[in-house]
Structure formats: C-alpha cells, structure tokens
Amino acid sequence: MQTPQSKKAKLIYLMRILLTETDEAHPIKMEDILSKLEDEGIYVERKTIYDDIKTLQDFGIDIVLDKKKSFGYYVANRDFELPELKLLADAVQSSKFITKNKTQQLIGKLEGLVSKHDAGKLRRQFHIQNRIKNMNESIYYNVDSLHEAISEGKKVSFKYFYYNIYKKHVFPRDDGEYIVSPAALSWSEENYYLIGILDGKEGLRHFRVDRMKSVKILDELRDPGVKDFKLTEYTKKIFGMFGGEELNVKLRMHNRLAHTVIDRFGKDIILVPDGENHFIMNVNIFNSTVFRAWLFQLEDKCEVISPQSFKDDLKKQAKDFLKRL
C-alpha cells in the first residue's frame, strides 16, 4: 500500500532511477521504472510517470525517449561529460597532495555524477611513477582555514613539524607554534605552500601546508606588508619554493631551450636573438640552490653572463659538489 510519504517522494525516486540507471547505451523501459518504484513502495499508473518525466524535463533534466531501439528513457546530457570526469579522476589519483582515503572518497563522489554503468570507468588503472600520497588527513581543513584567514585579513597560528628517521613528528620550536600573516597559498612541486610573514621576522617565508597541525584563525589583523602581494609575479622568481637574494640574471641560451624557458617563465618573457642559434634573456629570480641546479641541468646550452656574484655562487656550488665525488 502506498503511503503519503512515498507519494510525495515519487518524483525524487524517479529522478534518482533515471540518473543512476540510465545513459544513452542503457535506456530503461516504462515497466522497469514502475517495478523499481514498487520496490520503494510506490504504486502509480503509467500516465502519472509520463507527467512526472515531463516535469523533470521542464526542470532541466535532459531525458530522452529512445523510439528506435528499446523504447526506453535515458538521461542524455549531464553537468559533466564522461571524458571530463575521467580527467578529474585521473587528476585526483595522481595528486600527491590528496591522501589515499580522500582519493577514494572523491572518486566515489565523481561516480555519483554518471550512471552506474559508467561509474566503474572512473576507477581506471592509472599509474603514476613513484607516486607517494600524503599522510596528513587534516590538510583539506588547513587549506580551507588558511583561505578564510587570507580573505578576512587575519593572522593564523599553527604547529609545524618535520619527520625524523623514526617517522615521528618533530616540532622545531619548544611550543611548536608559529604565528604568520598569510599572503597567499601556492601549489608548487606537487605540494601546497603557505606564503607569509612570520611574526618577529622580516621577509616572506614558505610553509608546507601538509606539515601543519592545529591551524587557527586569530583575531589579530595580518601584517600590512602582505596586502599588495602579487602571487603570479612572485612565483616566476622562485624555484621549488626556496627563497634567497633577489637578483636580475642575464643568460645566453641555445634556441632549443626557448620552449623550456617559456614553460617556466611564461610567454611574457623577452627573448632577444643573439646570432643564429642563441638568444639572451634577463630574469628576476631568487638566488637559491634549486635555481642554480636548474641551470646546471641545461649543461652547455646555457651561459651565465651576469651578475658576477651569481657566477661565483655557481662556481662554488660546483666545486663543493666535486669535492664529494
């Protein structure tokens, strides 16, 4: 016997059946719709379902009647197409930032956006070489709190840890607490970083968000020095989130490296031809070991022209490395 509650829920159950059970390759016949509704304690006539389908179509759900083959109904277009969801699922699986547990949860939610017939296609054998997932489940809440603090212009406090050789958390400060004026969050080298000014210190510093614990938004307003921070300009100067003295470096490179340079610094970088096979560029960067290591990778296709102090740093780094061979 149909209850008043089941009668009210009829339209919701019908929508769920169509969204879950159908796609273009799997239409559902009217008798099967009625049978599934009966399983939920809902007994209606065909005419009522025709009217309900029309209501759902008016609501914006693209329900199509397959008149050529099965004479069944299916949902044709959804908010996300299957190739789009596959791309999102691959991005979730490949992200080091997202833990294994959260990866499964997110893919499960993505599966809810397609029919049950397509859901399994999102759990593909997608392999990323040497993929290591993050272990800090609180990272999602950390990111949310940090974004909120930046939006409200407030300082944040948190405990910051490292792993020791026994895989235990080690806090560099006695109380483990840092107070920071957050400027921005940045994604670099597969990790989330908070960029901000540490209380009592000058200059911007970087903190791995996955190494934070007990993130709190404070009532105190953040340092005004972060107000005009330009993330895009900043990230062009920094390599691997390692800071250092800011320099203007002049480089002479082989034309084969044009693509590499544009990939790293963007299309706005000015490349001045120098002969048939080379170009010259100037770039503002932070003089870090990571940037110097990047230049070493370019081997004989890159020449440092200036400044001399930077050339001396490169020579010292090379000599120090050779001593350890």
Q: Whose CA is closest to 199, among 154, 229, 132?
A: 154
Choose which CATH entry (3.30.70.141, 3.40.109.10, 1.10.10.10, 3.40.50.2020) describes domain 4-75: 1.10.10.10
Identify the weakest region by mean pLDDT among 5-14, 203-212, 297-306: 5-14
Partners of residue 74 on adjacent β-strands: 64
Task: With a cut of 80, say whether residue 307 has pLDDT above it.
Answer: yes
Between 44 and 3, where is the model more confident? 44
How much is the pLDDT for 227?
A: 80
How much is the pLDDT for 76?
A: 92
pLDDT digits (tens, 9 = 90+) for 268-295: 888 999 988 999 999 888 877 778 888 8
pLDDT digits (tens, 9 = 90+) for 68-85: 888 999 999 998 888 888
Domain with CATH 2.30.30 in the chain: 139-227
Domain with CATH 3.30.70 in the chain: 232-323
- Estimate to the nearest angstrom the gap between the alpha carbon of 107 and the chain centroid: 14
Task: With a cut of 90, say whether residue 35 has pLDDT above it.
Answer: yes
Average pLDDT, the chain: 84
How much is the pLDDT for 11?
A: 92
What is the phi/psi pair of residue 255, to 5°?
A: -55, -25
How much is the pLDDT for 174?
A: 64
Instruction: Classify 250 in phi/psi space as left (phi over 0), alpha (psi -120 to 50) or beta.
Output: beta
Amino acid at 6: S
8 A C-beta contact, residue 279 and residue 262: no
Q: Retrieve residue 45's tokens.
A: 């006539």
How much is the pLDDT for 292?
A: 82
How much is the pLDDT for 128?
A: 46
Task: With a cut of 60, say whether residue 42 has pLDDT above it.
Answer: yes
Domain 232-323 has CATH 3.40.1350: no
8 A C-beta contact, residue 287 and residue 310: yes
How much is the pLDDT for 234?
A: 75
What integer is the mean pLDDT of 165-189? 80
Prior bond of 4 cis (ω within 30°): no
Question: By percentage, how much of the chain surpasses pLDDT 70?
Answer: 89
What architecture is domain 139-227?
Answer: Roll (2.30)
Domain with CATH 1.10.10.10 in the chain: 4-75
What integer is the mean pLDDT of 207-223? 90
Whole-model pTM above 0.75?
A: no
Can you give 49-80 as a three-state secondary structure string?
A: HHHHHHHHHHHCCCEEECCCCCCCEEECCCCC
